Amino acid sequence: MLRRTGLLLAGAVFVMWAVATLTFFAIRLIPGDPAQAILGGPGSQASQEALDQVRRDYGLDQPLIVQYLAMLGRLLTGDLGTSYALKVPVAELLGAQLGGTLLLAVLSLAVAWVLALALSLWSTGRSRIATVLGEWIELAAAALPHFWFAAVLIAVFSTALGWFPPVATGTPAGLVLPVVTLAVPLAGFLAQVMRESLLDAMQQPFVVSARARGEGALGIRLRHTIRHAALPGISLSGWALGWLLSGAVVVETIFAMPGLGRTLLQAVTLRDIPIVTGVVLLIALVYVVMTILTDAASRLADPRLRRQAAAR
Amino acid sequence: MPAALTAATRRFGLLSIALVGAIVLAGCQSTQPEASGGDPVPGGTLTYASGDGEPTCLDPHVGGNYPQALLAGQFLESLVSRDETGEIIPWLAESWEVAGDGLAWEFTLREGVTFTDGTPLDAESVKVNVEHLKNPDTQSSTGYLALGKVETVEVVSDRVARFVLSTPDSALLESLSQPWVAIESPTGIARGMEENCQAPVGTGPFIVDEWVKQDHVTLVRNDDYTSPPADAAHEGPAYLEAIEWRFVPDSASRYAALQGGQVDVIDNPQPDTIAAAEGSDSLAWLDAPRPGASNRIELNGGQVPFDDERVREAFIRAVEVDDGIEALFFGTAERSFSPLSSVESLAYSDGSLFEPDPDRANALLDEAGWTERDADGTRMKDGTRLTLRFPVSTNQSIPAEQSLFEQVQATAKAAGFDVVIELLDLSSWYGALAAHEYEIVSAPYTKVGPDVLRILYHSDSIAPAPSGYFANLAQLADPAVDSLLEEAAATSDAAIRAELYEEAQRLILGGHHLLPLYDQQNSFLLSGDVQGARAIPTVSTPTFYDAWLAD
Amino acid sequence: MSELELRQTTVAASAQHLLLTRRPRLPRVGTLLAFAFVLFLVVATFAPALVATQDPNLIAPTEAFRAPSAAHWFGTDESGRDVYSRVVAGTGTSLLIGVSATLIGLVLGLALGLLASFGGRIFDFGVNRVIEVLFAFPGLLLALLVIVIAGPGPVTATIAVGLSTAPGYARIIRGQFVSIRSAPYVEAARVLGRSPARIVTRHVIPNALVPLFVLATLGIGQAIVWAAALSYLGLGAQPPAAEWGAMLAAGRTYLATAWWMTVFPGLMIVGTTIATTVLGRALARRGKDA
């Protein structure tokens, strides 16, 4: 148990380090002068002295390896640096945004789960038509681009029907459309995977014997097979979160919600390196935590995995 | 174990249904605003949704772009303003005098005005502001340029400040009317850039209360307000209690929010929504084209192929934009034939130079030696294709404009031009310009007054700043134009100035250096509740000083 | 291998098993429809002039924003161009982006997966960590960085999308290989003394290919959708390219006034995703049965 935890933590630290390094070098590839980004962005008329001063102040004239080590050193103390454009500490800025994005992602994941579970339960192991319909709905849902789906939802549920606001309002009502935008395509993905496991489970001997005992179809679904359907969903949740964070970039922009996605987009446009680095690291951290959690959840949900662990 | 799971699942299911139901109920809202005229009603919060990008610093002395101007117009004021006819009118300065040789301007400040932190408005504070602008540490771009000819400011008395110039500047008043040289509290400035960026202190009708990055800025009423410009509709404090300024980047959502009543005013509306609002009873359209240059396509005369005037004229004659402008902008944008915005009284326009004439275009290109053709019809000369690189900034060009550029591309193709459009983000776009990797480009420039012609078309502007940026994108280096613009900038005689600028524009247009399209579109859509809002005729930013909510 | 990985391998294996053994053998209506649609796509890619009704780039501003009619089956766009013809003309580019991005993702994923399964424990551990790192980068961010570095356009968009889907494929492929590796016939081959290379090429890869193929067909539609998101952000195909994603993004602005500009390209994307996946599964079944 201890060994296992140690390995997990070591893996997590490795991932964070690798992400920081990759980001550092990838960003250096972006064309454009960071000193200019600091001095008010593109099109500014900064003087040569100002540019030189900034390069000295921010250590931009040091050799690359020195800058890299300096960045690592700062990270170890939790210092994410100062935003070039906004001139405030990155940690402060991102701390305010993290909550919003996480809420959006977690809610979307939960709703996607429910939708996927419902769809796969409803359409599996019954009539041929239900199965085909279910498959096509899954595929169509998974193929919906966020920016397009959001526009349709706003046009129908906001402009035409007036049920929900088209931009974030700080109330739960303002979360509904963004969450649905993210949840439906994800549900399409999850449903496809869940359906396969569900089908598998439905053919198992314990289900056959349950039917023989006279249990109804719904009862079988809820009592025996739902765990089998849910399992792949759990292990995919880590990936799903990453996917949701990508979608959040578009959704936060469209619905004017403060969040990491929107911050990231603006930072890339403005070449604001500290913010880009900070957001990437934060996302990596969330992902790593999520992986650890889903590992634990999998073992909890699947007795086979627990038995394996006990046998070690 | 399975039984427990099932019960839990059932409970979860019921809970989620209840949650969704509650949310649906909470989300129901009414959407009907009421139209009414009548007397101003004090109170209320106006919600403004801006698509213009969030400023990185609220102090317009730092940098100096339009998003900053939009906000600063609510809480900062300048020495002078401009009225609808283009006349300079008093604001924080109640009168001014210029010394005979044009090298000294004396401004007498309004009496009894204080900044919202209690500091009095006096000549010393004006001096501090000008020094702030000229200080490289402030990183001012626009304001710095605007005061390029001001050497120092002398304090003559408590209420009189003397601007000492290095050369006469006929554009000084126009420059001083802009929000980028607004007068801030010296005490506020002394707090340092980080704090002053968060909430600059001014004399305006509203005060910056808080700025939640990426979300909104809250402005509250200045109850001690005493300094409206000469063309304001009333005196004393504003009617509105507060303004909530939100940043909503997506244009469709912005408009949906206006329709749904979540916001009261939006900017940068898409043309089709403007047309819809025009026809609707519950929305109003405030059309306020920006001053300075018109929206134009500039031809890079500094390199092949546009170093040849015949090729420039051929391009202009080949391209058709009138039908496109009409269709894409739904009739809300008028074709311009001038390098200057239509709000500039000195704008000179000549439509005859821009009548499409494909035959003439082809004849000119043949004459200029571009007679070979390659496989897809592009003209060639000595093995070089007639390719025109067209970097387009997606941050500056709305979709309708991007579509118009596609039409330019298509109609130019008929004459044998191969226009290559590159959609770039803002930083990459500046990079392409700095590296001269363009043959045609559309770059807006907002400035009050015809002096903008000097910035855009004087040969001095070809030299790049250390950042690589230069304003003379047409690479125009014509000594005749240079001397006209210099003379116009120096003369104090209004009639002579008008003549000089007209002649300069005639030369600029006649040299086929640009293709004017339309004014810099600057529209605002207001919900029917909002009364009394107008655009300040300086840089056409909206002011809500006289505004009230008819609810 | 960790418990989580065991779980994932089991999922992958059972998915493969189910995909191939659950359905009846005769071609169904769905499959025929999918086949017809894909045929149309192929013709539109290689001979667009045969199915398009007009010049996709013909500007006619006075005909802008016309609703679908007999003259314009899908209506006209903001510059008066025939939307149907543009959709047809855009088939080649869109499919190319989708297929290329998927190929890039698959090839990279295959390489990583092979390395992890057959390179020994160290490689397995190392590659797994690499995959996790890549997963931790949100796909869109990766795409944004690639495009900002290399400039916009369909090529960089393709590479960007391919790179961001690679880790997903790698993980699934690795799971496939691991489950196949412990299959009886591989055991037998090993006992019989066959070389590892031969085992891989004759037993492992062919058996892994089929579910991969199915995954890939689903991936094509996904890649097109990602590229569309990049176009929405202004970083995808350049004008006047009639790429579906770009049309979808551009048309979204006019959703209230001219819904046909965005709905039809959107239907094409969804249709392609469904058709390729259905056809892929049908072909996989045939291949398995043969």
Of C238, C250, C256, the CB nearest to B422: C238
> Inter-chain contact C61–B394, Cβ cutoff 8 Å?
no
CA distances from A110 to A148, A182, A236, B9, C127 (A): 22, 11, 13, 13, 30
Residue A22 Cα, gap to closest chain B Cα (Å) = 22
Of C22, C168, C270, the CB nearest to A199: C22
Q: Are B163 and B105 in contact (CB under 8 A)?
A: yes
- Write b or e for each residue in C74-101: b if 16 or more Cβ atoms lie within 10 A of its Cβ, otherwise e: bbbbbbbbbbbbbbbbbbbbbbbbbbbb
Q: Nearest Cα to A111, choosing from B23, C263, C132, C169?
A: B23
d(CA A147, CA A247): 9
Positive or negative, the CA dihedral B87, B90, B94, B100 is negative
For residues B514 and C280, which has the higher predicted lDDT (pLDDT)?
A: B514
pLDDT at C130 over 80: no
Q: Are C86 and C79 in contact (CB under 8 A)?
A: no
d(CA C208, CA C227): 28
* Tokens representing residue A50 in the block: 């100002």
d(CA A297, CA A153): 33
* Tokens representing residue B406 in the block: 């596609």
> Inter-chain contact A226–B5, Cβ cutoff 8 Å?
yes
Chain C contact set for B428 (CB, 8 A): 148, 151
d(CA C183, CA C224): 36
Residues B365-403: tens digit of each pLDDT = 999 999 999 888 899 999 899 999 999 988 888 889 999
Of A143, A250, A268, the CB nearest to C270: A143
pLDDT given for residue B139 in this prediction:
82
pLDDT given for residue C15 in this prediction:
57
Q: Nearest Cα to B183, choosing from B56, B72, B65?
A: B72
Q: Nearest Cα to A267, choosing from A71, A18, A32?
A: A32
> Inter-chain contact B403–C65, Cβ cutoff 8 Å?
no
Closest residue in A to C149 (Cα–Cα): A30
* Tokens representing residue B443 in the block: 């770059």
pLDDT given for residue B26 in this prediction:
39
Of A44, A226, A259, the CB nearest to B467: A44
CA distances from B209 to B58, B200, B217, B314, B420 (A): 12, 10, 8, 55, 47
Mutate to test the interface with B, among C65, C78, C144 (most CBs of B within 10 A): C78
* Amino acid, res. C248: L
pLDDT given for residue A233 in this prediction:
66
Residues B221-232: tens digit of each pLDDT = 999 999 999 999
Of C59, C62, C152, the CB nearest to B411: C59
* Amino acid, res. C71: A
> Inter-chain contact A154–B5, Cβ cutoff 8 Å?
no
Q: Which of A49-58, B347-356, C114-123, C241-250 has the lowest mean pLDDT?
A: C114-123
> Inter-chain contact C14–A152, Cβ cutoff 8 Å?
no
Helix (H, G, I), strand (E, B) or coil at B65: coil
> Inter-chain contact C253–B425, Cβ cutoff 8 Å?
no
Residues of B with CB under 8 A from a CB of C: 251-252, 270, 272-273, 276, 323-324, 326-328, 394, 399-400, 402-403, 405-407, 409-411, 420-425, 428
Q: Are A234 and A196 in contact (CB under 8 A)?
A: no
Cβ atoms < 10 Å from Cβ of B369: 15
Q: Are B162 and B104 in contact (CB under 8 A)?
A: yes
Rg, chain A, Cα only: 24
pLDDT at C2 over 90: no
Helix (H, G, I), strand (E, B) or coil at B430: helix
* pLDDT, mean of residues C83-98: 90
- Report the first-to-last Cα separation within chain A, whole angstroms: 10
- The upper half-sphere exposure of residue B126, i.e. CA atoms within 13 Å in the direction of its Cβ, equals 31
Do you know the residue count of chain A? 312
Helix (H, G, I), strand (E, B) or coil at C190: helix
Chain B contact set for A262 (CB, 8 A): 214, 249
d(CA C250, CA B262): 26
pLDDT given for residue C192 in this prediction:
82
The pTM of the full predicted model, rounded to 2 decimals, is 0.84
**CB-count burial class (<10 Å; 0-12, 13-18, 19+) for B415:** buried
d(CA A44, CA B139): 8
Residue A66 Cα, gap to closest chain C Cα (Å) = 23
- Report the first-to-last Cα separation within chain B, whole angstroms: 59
d(CA B204, CA B224): 10
CA distances from A13 to A7, A10, A95, B290, C136 (A): 10, 5, 21, 53, 13
Of A42, A87, A222, the CB nearest to B6: A222
Three-class HEC string of chain A: CHHHHHHHHHHHHHHHHHHHHHHHHHHHCCCCCHHHHHCCCCCCCCCHHHHHHHHHHCCCCCCHHHHHHHHHHHHHCCCCCECCCCCCEHHHHHHHHHHHHHHHHHHHHHHHHHHHHHHHHHHCCCCHHHHHHHHHHHHHHHCCCHHHHHHHHHHHHHHHCCCCCCCCCCCCHHHHHHHHHHHHHHHHHHHHHHHHHHHHHHCCHHHHHHHHCCCCHHHHHHHHHHHHHHHHHHHHHHHHHHHHHHHHHHHHHHCCCCCHHHHHHHHHHHCCHHHHHHHHHHHHHHHHHHHHHHHHHHHHHCHHHHHHHHHC
Residues B11-53: tens digit of each pLDDT = 544 444 444 444 444 333 333 333 445 788 999 999 999 998 8
Model confidence at B200, pLDDT cuts 50, 70, 90, reads: very high
Helix (H, G, I), strand (E, B) or coil at C31: helix
pLDDT given for residue B516 in this prediction:
96
> Inter-chain contact A231–C3, Cβ cutoff 8 Å?
no
* pLDDT, mean of residues B105-121: 95
Helix (H, G, I), strand (E, B) or coil at B471: coil
Residues C6-26: tens digit of each pLDDT = 666 666 565 555 555 555 545
Q: Give the ipTM of the model, two decimals please.
A: 0.81
For residues C157 and C209, which has the higher predicted lDDT (pLDDT)?
A: C157
Model confidence at B210, pLDDT cuts 50, 70, 90, reads: very high
Range 227-256 of B in CB contact (< 8 A) with A: 246-250, 252-254, 256
What are the domain boundaries of chain C?
Answer: 26-289
Cβ atoms < 10 Å from Cβ of A58: 18
d(CA C245, CA C227): 6
- Residue owning tokens 């935590």: A289
* β-sheet bridge partners, residue B82: B88
- The upper half-sphere exposure of residue B533, i.e. CA atoms within 13 Å in the direction of its Cβ, equals 32
> Inter-chain contact C152–B423, Cβ cutoff 8 Å?
yes
Chain C contact set for A280 (CB, 8 A): 137, 141
Residues B461-465: contacts with CB under 8 Å, at least 24 apart:
B462/B302, B464/B434, B465/A44, B465/A45, B465/A46, B465/A47
pLDDT at B105 over 80: yes
pLDDT < 50: residue spans in chain A: 312
Helix (H, G, I), strand (E, B) or coil at B419: strand
pLDDT given for residue A196 in this prediction:
73
Q: Nearest Cα to A116, choosing from A135, A132, A144, A130?
A: A135
- Residue owning tokens 């006075």: C62
Mutate to test the interface with B, among A45, A47, A53, A104 (most CBs of B within 10 A): A45
Cβ atoms < 10 Å from Cβ of B29: 14
> Inter-chain contact B323–C239, Cβ cutoff 8 Å?
no
Interface partners of chain A (CB pairs < 8 Å, 3 or more) are B, C
For residues C216 and B321, which has the higher predicted lDDT (pLDDT)?
A: B321
Of B24, B57, B145, the CB nearest to A45: B145
Q: Are A188 and C222 in contact (CB under 8 A)?
A: no
Range 189-248 of A in CB contact (< 8 A) with B: 222-224, 226-227
Closest residue in B to A175 (Cα–Cα): B23
Chain A contact set for C18 (CB, 8 A): 196, 199-200
Model confidence at C223, pLDDT cuts 50, 70, 90, reads: confident
* Amino acid, res. C34: A
- In this structure, the strands spanning B387-393 and B418-424 are parallel
Of C4, C140, C274, the CB nearest to A295: C4
Question: What superfamily would CATH give domain C26-289?
Answer: MetI-like (1.10.3720.10)
Residue C46 Cα, gap to closest chain B Cα (Å) = 19
* Tokens representing residue B98 in the block: 């210029």
| Cis check: omega of the bond before C240, within 30 degrees of 0 | yes
Of A222, A227, A254, the CB nearest to B250: A254
* Tokens representing residue B147 in the block: 């005061």
* pLDDT, mean of residues B261-290: 92
Three-class HEC string of B155-214: ECCCCEEEEEECCCCCCHHHHHCCHHHCECCHHHHHCCHHHHHHCCCCCCCEEEEEEECC
Q: Nearest Cα to B227, choosing from B116, B74, B77, B97?
A: B77
pLDDT given for residue B495 in this prediction:
94
* β-sheet bridge partners, residue B90: B80
Q: Are A289 and A281 in contact (CB under 8 A)?
A: no
Residue C78 Cα, gap to closest chain B Cα (Å) = 6
Residue B273 Cα, gap to closest chain C Cα (Å) = 9
Residue C187 Cα, gap to closest chain A Cα (Å) = 23
